[in-house]
Amino acid sequence: MFNRSKFYLFLGLIILLSSFFLFSLREVLIGTSYSSILLSIFSSALLAIMLLKNKSIKIPRYLSFVLLFFVTWFLISTFFSREIGLSVWSFIRFFSYFVLFVSIYNFVNKNGHAQKVLLCGIVIVSLAVLLTNYFSFVVDGDLNSGKPFSGSFFWYNQMAGFLLFIIPMLLNLFLNIKNMFLKSIFFALTGFSVFLMILTTSRAGWISLAISLLFFALLSIREIKKTHVFALVGLFAVLGSLVIFQPHLFKRAVDLPKELFSGTRTASSNLRLASWNAALKMVDDRPIMGVGPGTYGAVFRNYQKIPWIYSRNAHNYFLEIAAETGLPGALSFISIIGFATYLVIKERKTLFNQQKHPLLLGVTTALVGTSFHSLFDVDWSRVTLFSLFWVFLAVFFANTSISVKEIKIKRLGISLVLIPLLLAASSVYLLIAESSYSWAKSNFSDGFIDESSKLVDRVVAMNPLDTRYLLLQGEIRYAQKTPTEAQKSFEKITLLYPHFPDSYFELGLMKYKTGDYPKAVDWISKSIDVNPYVNPAPHLTLAQAYLKLNEQDNAEKVLERAINDYFPLNSYYRDFEYLYDAAGIKSQLADLYFQLADVRLEKGKEEDAKKIIEIVEKEFNPLPSQLRRYKEKVGMSP
C-alpha cells in the first residue's frame, strides 16, 4: 500500500530541490535555453510521479477549455512562426509551464498540508538565495557604490519582480504565526526583503509593491491587529526614509514624473515605448498568428527605428504574447488572468479567511504585484519568475470554488505518463543539441576546427531550423576553407529567415575576404537594408569594399550615414555605453571614425579628418589604442 504521507514528503522534497536549482543555478549564467530544459525535466518528472500515484489528473472544468486552447494555439502559431527554431524552444518552455501548473494544482488541491510544504519551501529557498546574493553584493562593494541590487538575475528589475513574490508571503507568515519569537524573525525578514526592493532602484518594482501591499491591507483590514498595523507602518516608514536620505535613491524617485514627457524621458523609458510600439505593429501586421512564440527579439530588428534602442522583449508581457501568438493567444491568456480576478472579487470573503486559507492572501497579493509589474517589465519572459507565477496561480485556483467542479482525466490510465515522458524526451533531445553547440563553439574559438565541425554538423542535423547553429556551421566551414559549403549554410538562413541580417553580412564578409568586392557590396547592402542598427561592422566592411573598388565617395557616404544616422553619440548611447563596451561594439564604432578620417585624408580634407579625431578623443572612454597613431596622422600632438 502506498504511504500517502511519504508520497507528499517525497514530492515536497522534489519541489524544494528543483526550486533550489531554478533559483541558484542562475539563469543569468546558464542561459534561458538550459533553464528551459531544467524546467521541462522538473515539470515532466513532477507530473509523472503524480500520474504513477493517482493514474489520473484533474483540471478545473471552467479553466480547462481556456488553458487547452492557449496551449493548442501556441503550438499552431509555432508552425507559422517567422523563426521556427526559436519558437520550438518557446513552445517546449510554455508547455512545461502548463505541465507545472497542472502538477501543482493536483498536488495542493484539497490538501492544506501540501500547500504549506510547497509555499514555505519556496520561501525558505528564496530567502537562502536572497541572503547569499546580498552577502556578495556587500562584499563586492556594490552596496557602497550605489549599484542597483540584481543578485541572481540579469537585471535589477527582475530581482524586483522576484521580491514581489516573496514579500507578500513573508508578510502573510508574520501575521499568521502565533509564536512571538518566530513572528519577530518574519517581521525582520519582511523588513530585509523590502530593504532589498529599495536597493533594486526599480521604480516599477516600488509602485507594484505599493499596489500589492494596498491590496493586502484592504483584504486583511478586519483581521489584522492594531499592534501589527503600528509595527508594519513603522517598518515601512523607516525603510521609506532610506529613499529620502540616499541621494541616488531620492533622485530615482523624484525623477519619475519626468518619464511622462518626451523631452525629459530617460533612455530606459524610450526603450519601453519603442518596444510597445513595435509589439503593436507586429500585431497589426500579423493579428491572427503573430510573429511566432519566442521571436519578438529577433523580429524586432525589422521594426527598429531609433539608434541604440533594441529590445529582446516587449517590456509588457500582454503585448508580447499578442505580438508572438496573435490576438487569439493574447485573449486566451488574458482570460485566465481575468477569470482569477473575477474569483477574487466574487469569493473574497471565503478565500481570504485566515483560518481556512492561511497563506492564500500572500499568494494572491504576489499574483497582483507580478501581474502589474509585467505591464512594464520582462518578468514573465524569464523562466524562474514565470515558473513562480504558474505555481502561485495553481495554488490560487486550487482554493477557489472552481476546484469543486473538475474534469478528471483517467480513462487513459497509466498511458497518461507518456505526456511527461514525451516532454522529458524532447527536453533531453534539445539538451544534447544545445550542449553540442556549446562545445562546438568553444572548440572553434580555441582553434580545434575539425572537432568543432563534427559537433556542429551533428547539431544542425538534430535541429536544422536554429539560426545560431547554421551561422556557426557556416563560420566553421569557411575556416575549413570550403567557401561553397559555408555559403550554403548562410544562404539557408536567408531562405528560412529573410529578416535575419547577420546571414547577409556573413555572406558579404566571405565575398570580401575572397576579393569579390562587387558581390560583397550587394550582400552587405542587403544586411544593412534589413536592419542598419545591429552593429557598426557591416557599415565598416561595406565602406572598405567600396574603397577596394576605388569608390571613395560611396565609402564616405556609408561612413557618414553610419556615424550620423545609425550610431550617433547621443544620450541613448551614453545611457547604454557600458553594454556596448562589453559587447565590443564601442571598438567597432571607433573604427568607423578612424576609417572616415582615412577617407578624408585621402581626399585632402585634413581639417575634417582632424575634427573626427578630436571627437574620438572627447567622446570615447577608455581611449581607443589607435588614437595616438591617428593623432600623429592628422598633425595633432600625441
Per-residue pLDDT of 427-451, as tens digits, reads 888 888 888 998 999 999 998 999 9
Backbone angles phi, psi at 571, to 5 degrees: -65, -35
List all residues 6 or more positions away from 462 whose beta carbon is below 8 Å from its beta carbon.
429, 432, 433, 436
pLDDT tens digits, residue range 448-475? 999 999 999 999 999 898 899 999 999 9
Q: What is the pLDDT of residue 330?
A: 95
What is the rounded average pLDDT of the residues 479-488?
90
Q: How many residues does the chain have?
A: 638
Q: Is 192 helix (H, G, I), strand (E, B) or coil?
A: helix
pLDDT digits (tens, 9 = 90+) for 88-116: 889 999 999 999 998 889 888 877 888 88
Q: Name the DSSP class of 214.
A: H
pLDDT digits (tens, 9 = 90+) for 552-583: 999 999 999 999 999 998 888 887 777 777 66
In whole angstroms, what is the distance from residue 126 CA to residue 128 CA?
Answer: 5
Average pLDDT in the chain? 85
CA distance 539 to 543: 6
Nearest to 469 by CA among 33, 21, 18, 160: 33
CA distance 282 to 300: 9
Looking at residue 431, its amino acid is: L
Can you tell me the mean pLDDT for 11-22? 58
Helices 203-220 and 360-373 pack at an angle, to 10 degrees, of: 150
Q: Residue 600 forms beta bridges with which residues?
A: none
Q: Is the pLDDT confidence value at 223 over 90? A: no
- Predicted pLDDT at 375: 94
Burial class (CB in 10 A: 0-12, 13-18, 19+), 606: middle
Does pLDDT of 409 surpass 90? no
Give the C-alpha separation, 501 to 537, whole Å. 12
Helix (H, G, I), strand (E, B) or coil at 262: coil
**H or E element that contains 555:** helix 552-561
Spacing of C-alpha 203 from chain mean position = 18
Q: Is the pLDDT of residue 13 over 80?
A: no
Q: Beta-carbon neighbour count of residue 467 at 10 Å?
A: 18
Whether a cis peptide bond, with omega within 30° of 0, leads into 622 is yes
Helix axes 112-139 and 4-24, enclosed angle (nearest 10): 20
Please state, in angstroms and rounded to a whole number, the distance separating the CA atoms of residues 589 and 89: 33
Burial of 625 (0-12, 13-18, 19+ CB in 10 A): exposed
Closest CA to 310 of 150, 155, 85, 531: 531
Q: At what angle do helices 156-176 and 203-220 cross, to 10 degrees?
A: 20
H/E stretch holding 409: strand 406-409
Instruction: Give the pLDDT confidence score for residue 370 in this predicted structure.
Output: 96
What domains sit in the chain, N to C, each tagged with a CATH number?
4-410 (no CATH), 512-638 (1.25.40.10)
The most confident of 148-162, 326-340, 605-619, by mean pLDDT: 326-340
Q: Find where cell 563553439 sits.
A: 441
* Angle at the Cα of 531 from the Cα atoms of 298 and 375, rounded to 5 degrees: 45
Handedness of CA 281, 286, 290, 294 (dihedral sign): negative
CA distances (Å), origin 578, targets 148, 275, 537, 582, 583:
15, 21, 18, 6, 9
- Cβ of 444: how many Cβ atoms within 10 Å? 19
Q: 3-class DSSP state for residue 109?
A: coil
Per DSSP, the three-state class of 23 is helix
